Structure 1
Amino acid sequence: MPRFMSLIRLDEQTSGRPGPEVEERMKALFEEITKAGVMLETAGLTPTSEGTRLTWSGGRLSATDGPFTETKEVVGGYAILQAKDKAEALEWARRFLQVHPEEWNITCEVRQIEEPPGA
């Protein structure tokens, strides 16, 4: 079965920590998706203030420590899913987004993982 990566993008300035109600809904969804054998891995990421960007440009490597204030949306988490097809992966992503508060602006980008040749 194909694997998919979902990248959770959010506005770090306006999206706070989810409250207990949201955490309960998310816990129930994660239990369901894990029991279905779809969730392989998931995690949130620390704030950009704790990150570093490495850039290769013009034959030179540079490093920039966070926070990255010029960026409106950041990757706040990810999940690796194993689904029968993209439609199933998108359905789980829709359900994930819907557990969040209505006032949040959050995006989930779903992309299939390329498998190595012969896998």
Structure 2
Amino acid sequence: MRFMILVKATKDSEAGVMPPEELFSAMADYHEQLAKAGVLLDANGLQPTSKGWKIQYSGGKRTVIDGPFTEAKELVAGYTIIQVKTREEAIEWANRFPNPHLDKGEIEIRQMFELEDFGELEAIDRFREMGAGQKT
């Protein structure tokens, strides 16, 4: 089972303010523990939305919308992807995640789909052939 831990953005992260060194150290310690346990698949921070864009769809039309985007609490500043055997194990690891905001903060944990969840479809077989969504 794969889970994504989403770190919510703040006004500071959206302004490009780097976290203090003690937070980087706590994050490094936590991710080293994940790696040693063999459950870490990926982790990274995201640049502020001022450096990003959205694609908005309306029927067959696509519109590029440059950032920044509003409502920082709805934005993602970083993520960690873990692969564990149970939901309970994911909860245990998530409970150990350092507070990314040093004060009042929040992370969101979402289980990722596995290709098997979509049943037997020709299009899903094409994803398998590409190696997309494969367990490690």
Give the alignment's TM-score, normalised by structure 1: 0.81
Does the C-alpha gap of structure 1 residues 69 and 80 become closer, same or farther in structure 2, counting only changes over 3 Å? same
The answer (yes or no) to whether the contact 2:39–2:83 under 8 Å persists in 1 is yes
Kindly tell me the number of residue pairs found equivalent between the two proteins. Answer: 116
Q: CA deviation at 1:63?
A: 0.9
Match of 1:95 in 2: 96
Higher helix content, 1 or 2: 2
Q: TM-score, normalised by structure 2?
A: 0.72
- Unpaired runs of at least 5, structure 2: 121-133
* 1:72-91 mapped onto 2 (5 Å cutoff): 72-91=73-92
**Residue pair 2:27, 2:98 contacting (<8 A) in 1 also:** no
On the 8 A contact 1:5/1:80 being kept in 2, the answer is: yes
How far apart in 2 are the matches of 1:24 and 1:71? 24
Task: Tell me the SS of whatever aligns to 1:96.
Answer: coil
Equivalent position of 2:61 in the other structure = 60
Aligned to 2:3: 4
Return the structure number with greater strand share. 1
Q: 1:115 to 1:5 in 2, by over 3 A?
A: farther
Extract unaligned runs of 5+ from structure 1: none
The separation in 1 between residues aligned to 2:72 and 2:23, in whole angstroms, is 26
- Aligned partner of 2:74: which letter? E
Flag the structure with larger Rg. 2
Residues 30, 70 of structure 1: alpha-carbon distance in 2 compared, 3 angstrom cutoff: closer
Identity of matched residues, %: 40
Look up the equivalent residue of 1:26 and give its one-letter code.
Answer: M
